[in-house]
Amino acid sequence: MNGRLFWLTAALLVGIAAHIAYILFVPRTQMDAKMSDFTALAGTNKLVVVEPDVLATVLPGADPGLAHAVCVFDLASGPVLIKASVPAGYWLISFYAPNGDSFYSLNDRQADVRNLSLLLTPKSSDPGTDRLSNPQVGEGSEIAVKSPSARGLVLLRARIEAAALRTRVMGDLATSFCGRAN
């Protein structure tokens, strides 16, 4: 009886360890793999429009009704500038840390501009100087975004109103820029 209880307890402890390991490590390794995939696709500090035929591979579960562009940013050599001539209609720009957290996002109504410009810098030690989320901005102004990590992902998405407009919306996103700010 004691023997059985011992093995049962041992199995339970192994189970708890496996459970915790899965929850803590799988998201991190999957996000690392995703960052590697995007780096292979787009390089670093470079924005690339994702073609529809590879969308499900690099962004499983993504809405095919949106055009997607990605940029893997690296702030090691200085701030990164993101400039986009966003199409009319719905668009959304989201920033992700390497742990999968979405630390900033902005959509067309919040920004109310056609020429979007965001300057990405590392988060300072003084939280009071960091912009939190969704500021009201004006045309021509540069939005300061503070990143909690040196590396991460930028995902720019725009709605495709009709299938015939896919190429045009993807073309609009393709004129966007993600790179070192000089």
Partner 1 sequence: MFGRIKLALTILIGVALGLLSARYVAGGGLDLVAMSQGPWKTWPSAGLNTMDPYTKAHFLAEGRLADNRREIVEFETAGDGNGSPFDAGCTYLIAGRFGWSRWWSITASRESDHASLPPLRPSSLHSGQVVFEADGTAVIRLAADPQTGNWLAMPSSGRINLVLRYYDPVPASRANPAAVVLPQVQREACR
Question: At closest approach, how far in Å is the CB of 77 from partner 1?
Answer: 25
Residue 150 engages partner 1 in binding (rule: CB under 8 A): no
Whole-Å CA distances, 115 to 37, 83, 137, 138, 143: 28, 7, 11, 10, 12
Residue 133 engages partner 1 in binding (rule: CB under 8 A): yes
Q: Are 33 and 57 in contact (CB under 8 A)?
A: no
Rounded Cα gap, residues 24 and 21, in angstroms: 5
Residues within window 23-82 making contact with partner 1, judged by CB under 8 A: 23-24, 26-27, 30-31, 33-34, 52, 56, 59-65
Question: At closest approach, how far in Å is the CB of 118 from partner 1?
Answer: 16
The secondary structure of residue 71, as a DSSP letter, is E
Residue 180 engages partner 1 in binding (rule: CB under 8 A): no
Terminal C-alpha separation, the chain: 72
The secondary structure of residue 98, as a DSSP letter, is T
Give the count of residues interacting with partner 1 (CB under 8 A): 52
Residues 6+ apart with CB under 8 A from 166: 52, 67, 160
Q: Are 149 and 97 in contact (CB under 8 A)?
A: yes
User: Sheet holding 91-96: strands in order across?
Assistant: 47-50, 66-74, 151-159, 91-96, 102-107
**Residue from 46, 79, 81, 105 that binds partner 1 (CB under 8 A)?**
105
- Considering the complex, state which of residue 135 and residue 181 has its C-beta at the smaller distance from partner 1: 135
Question: At closest approach, how far in Å is the CB of 131 from partner 1?
Answer: 14
Residues within window 85-104 making contact with partner 1, judged by CB under 8 A: 90, 92, 94, 96, 99-103
The residue ranges that bind partner 1 (CB under 8 A) are 7, 10-24, 26-27, 30-31, 33-34, 52, 56, 59-65, 90, 92, 94, 96, 99-103, 105, 107, 109, 133-134, 153, 155, 159, 161-163, 166
